[in-house]
Amino acid sequence: MRQRADIVSVIAEHVELERAGRYYRGLCPFHAEKTPSFHVDTERQRYICYGCHAGGNVFQFLMQRENLSFPDAVRVIAEKSGMEMPSAPMSAAQQAKADAAGRCRKACASAAAFYHALLTQAPEGQAVREYLRSRQIGPEAVERFSLGWAPDAWDRLSVHLQAEGFAEGELVSFGLLKQREDGKPGGGAYDRFRARLMFPIFDTQGHPVGFGGRVLSEKTSKGAPKYLNSPETQFFQKGKYLYGLHSACRHIGAGHALLVEGYMDVIAAQNAGFPQAVASLGTALTREQAKLLKRYGSRVVIGYDNDAPGRRAALSAGEIFLAEGLRTEVLVLPEAKDPDEYLRGHSPDEFRERLEASPSFIEFKYGELSREQGVRSVADKAEIIRRLAPDIRRLGRAEQEGYIRFLSRECGLTFETVRAEVDAQKTPISRRRLVPSAAPTPTSAVLPPAPAAPTAPLGIFRAEQLLLRAALDDEACRPLIRSELGEDFWLLPEHRFLFANAAAPDAYAEDDDFYGRCQKRLAELYSFPFDPARSGEIIADCVLAVKREQERRETEDLQSQMISLENGGDMAGALRLLKVMRDRLQENGLQQRNDTAQPD
């Protein structure tokens, strides 16, 4: 599959490339730069950046760029290359569920194309096109976001999709139709979206999975809600998606994500040159959405509406982002109710200035609390500090000290007083998740509990990286490593898990935190050059390093046991361990001399 895939065409979807001999070059998508240092080798089908040293093959590019697991990257390349992916055997129930999910994706894609054609080609879409132009949304944005129009009719979509072979009942289960509630036999179902501007909701691979619909005029909506989203189904949960992320994900890593409230805010921001804008589908931000953003970057700016509900939502979202370890700021636009309105009355440069001046979440929350309850008395100040303490305690020590000094200055209290008040609010923050016990299967593995920051000597850490990289690049290396070292030699649980489960497509499903750490380790693997032609030599060197580290640890354990026996008065036992240590040292010394004496 790697040989068949065209790495240039895959990378060109993310990077503007120009030809230079046998290479293509462009600006690196993995770090900010002005002079191209990113090169794609057409003969070797590999890429490398001479600035940040990212490099690898087509699978590794997608894993780094799209934060995909290896199995997901393989699926994407298979789809682009027209190759069929082999799948593990499934039960009848599993097969039925997979078939239904596939038909749901096809139905959503067909519905999106139907709505889009009505907007862009049909006479009935003319009024909608004029409305969009009045909102400064031109044909390019209509195409980029696949905007559409749901006609003011009860069964236009239903008739269209049933003509394509979809049954009415399954379209109801997909959320595209709605079952009549009058209880009459044969009442049937009708189109859920009618007389609405349609916003397809895409997954990160660009497949439509749901819809949002907006009435053009609240005066003619006949009491219908202004916005209507696809319902919660087994195929679509709003809290797991972000509007606009399918295009924004490519731009978040180099800067930050901009989280706004509405579809129009996303379109306005991206049109104005802020492609990192996403929205949370009209719902309160969920943990799943925060984790999704965290895959693509470590900083987020919240740009919710400038009203009381919007500010409350910003406070709630900020607390979730801090809990996920994201650097969080809040965009303040006093001259407008939301980013869309601001951008229609101000230039992109003015918006950028506002964005760059965004206060941190702690500073924003302090301002909101000050307006809410005032800071007239010492009791008011103490209450504000207590309410901010849990957020401050989530941060690193340097940031904690900075915000304690900020509160000291704002409240007119000494640094020591504020520090003592923050430390007194000992809110336990647990990021560890329980993993249900289950027998591992070829497609689902039990994840180990999240460990406390595993450590390994630098040399052994690199040896593990090289061994794992060799195993991932060439399946034939895996049994060789097992025969030399077994399964349990890994010091880092992420390395151990990736070695055992890299080919299992659902291996990460049970623990998002562990999934994130595995993805980080994978990214580290592909951040340094690796020559597959030297795999045998590399494995031999790494195996030797690991064995020596194992011997060193065993010697330390024996020394510790010997000291314990001496302290307990068991001199005979201590002498026995001393003899064992001496014999091992002599054996290791002889082995090392033999290794050195071997010819090249």
Residue 230 DSSP code? P
The closest of 248, 264, 173 to 213, measured between CA atoms, is: 264
- pLDDT at position 551: 81
- pLDDT at position 594: 46
| Cβ pair 8, 42 in contact under 8 A | yes
Amino acid at 246: H
- How many Cα atoms sit within 13 Å of 46 on the Cβ side? 13
Question: Residue 423 corresponds to which tokens in the numbers above?
Answer: 């430390």
- pLDDT at position 571: 77
The closest of 248, 262, 348, 275 to 303, measured between CA atoms, is: 262
CA-to-CA distance for 368 and 362, rounded, in angstroms? 10
| Size of the chain in residues | 600
The CATH superfamily holding the domain 92-236 is DNA primase, catalytic core, N-terminal domain (3.90.980.10)
Q: Where are the domains of the chain?
A: 7-81, 92-236, 249-358, 366-424, 458-595
Q: For each of the chain's 600 residues, which pLDDT tens digit applies? A: 777 888 998 898 888 899 988 789 988 887 777 788 899 988 888 999 888 788 889 998 888 877 677 888 888 888 887 787 776 677 788 888 888 989 999 999 999 999 999 999 999 999 999 999 999 999 999 999 999 999 999 999 999 999 999 999 999 999 999 988 765 444 589 999 999 999 999 998 789 999 999 998 766 566 788 889 999 999 999 999 999 998 888 788 778 899 999 999 999 999 999 999 999 886 689 999 999 898 888 899 999 999 999 999 999 999 999 999 999 999 999 889 999 999 999 999 999 999 999 999 999 999 999 988 888 888 888 899 999 999 999 898 889 999 999 999 998 889 999 999 898 876 443 333 323 333 333 333 333 333 333 445 567 888 888 999 888 888 888 888 988 888 888 888 888 888 887 655 445 445 566 766 777 787 777 767 778 888 888 898 899 888 888 887 777 777 767 776 776 777 777 778 777 777 766 665 545 444 444 444
| Cβ pair 30, 49 in contact under 8 A | yes
SS3 of 33, please?
coil
- pLDDT at position 355: 95
| Cβ pair 215, 249 in contact under 8 A | no
- pLDDT at position 595: 47
Q: Does the fold of domain 458-595 match that of domain 7-81?
A: no
> Which residue reads 């649980």 in tokens?
493
CA-to-CA distance for 110 and 104, rounded, in angstroms? 10
Amino acid at 274: F
SS3 of 227, please?
strand
> Which residue reads 């009719």 in tokens?
153
- pLDDT at position 589: 55
Pick the CATH number of 458-595 from 1.10.1660, 1.10.260, 1.10.860, 1.20.1060: 1.10.860
- pLDDT at position 454: 41
| C-beta neighbour count of 186 within 10 angstroms | 5
- pLDDT at position 31: 76
- Architecture per CATH, domain 249-358, reads as 3-Layer(aba) Sandwich (3.40)
| Cβ pair 50, 34 in contact under 8 A | no
> Which residue reads 């008395």 in tokens?
377
Handedness of CA 417, 423, 426, 429 (dihedral sign): positive
The CATH superfamily holding the domain 7-81 is Zinc finger, CHC2-typedomain (3.90.580.10)
CA-to-CA distance for 21 and 349, rounded, in angstroms? 38
